[in-house]
C-alpha cells in the first residue's frame, strides 16, 4: 500500500500542528511520526497543471484532480511560523530513508 512521506523542516524541534488541505490532523489517528518525517498511510497527491489544462481553465473549463496540501504550524523562540505546501513523497512499504 502506498504511503505519503513528508519531511519536517529542520527548524521544527518542538510541538507543531499538521494540516491536510486546511484541516487539522491528529497524530496516530491521521498520521504518525517516524524520525523527522510525517507518514500518512494513504496516497496524497500534488496536481501538476499542464499548459493544456491551464488553457482550458482560462476558458472556464474545469479539470479537477486530487491536489493535496500539507501545511505545518510551529513555534520557534516564541514566534509562530507556517510551512506551506510541504513536498510529498510517495513510498512503498519499505523503511523510510532519514536523509530525505
- On the question of pLDDT at 99 being above 50, the answer is no
Q: Which of 50, 53, 37, 24 is nearest to 86 (CA)?
A: 37
Task: Grade residue 2 by pLDDT with cuts at 50, 70 and 90.
Answer: confident
Query: What pLDDT, in 10s, does the model give residues 7-27?
Result: 999 999 999 999 999 999 999
| Torsion over CA: 91, 35, 44, 84 (sign) | negative
C-beta of residue 19 within 8 angstroms of C-beta of residue 71:
yes
Whether the per-residue pLDDT at 1 is higher than 60: the answer is yes
Cell of 39: 507518514
27 DSSP 8-state letter: B
Q: Angle at CA 89, nearest 5°, toward 73 and 63?
A: 90
**What digits encode the pLDDT tens for the residues 33-59?**
999 999 999 999 877 777 776 787 778
Among residues 83, 3, 84, the alpha carbon closest in space to that of 39 is found at 3
Give the CATH architecture of domain 3-91. Answer: Sandwich (2.60)
**Distance, CA of 33 to CA of 30 (rounded, Å):** 11
Please give the share of the chain, as a percent, with pLDDT higher than 70: 86
Question: What's the confidence (pLDDT) of residue 53?
Answer: 65
Amino acid at each position: 500500500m502506498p504511503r505519503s512521506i513528508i519531511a519536517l523542516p529542520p527548524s521544527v524541534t518542538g510541538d507543531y500542528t499538521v494540516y491536510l488541505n486546511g484541516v487539522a490532523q491528529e497524530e496516530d489517528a491521521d498520521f504518525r511520526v517516524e524520525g523527522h518525517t510525517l507518514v500518512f498511510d494513504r496516497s496524497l497527491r500534488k496536481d501538476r497543471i499542464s499548459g493544456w489544462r491551464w488553457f482550458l481553465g482560462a476558458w472556464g473549463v474545469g479539470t479537477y484532480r486530487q491536489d493535496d496540501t500539507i501545511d505545518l504550524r510551529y513555534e520557534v523562540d516564541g514566534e509562530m511560523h507556517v510551512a506551506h505546501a510541504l513536498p510529498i513523497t510517495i513510498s512503498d512499504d519499505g523503511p523510510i530513508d532519514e536523509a530525505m
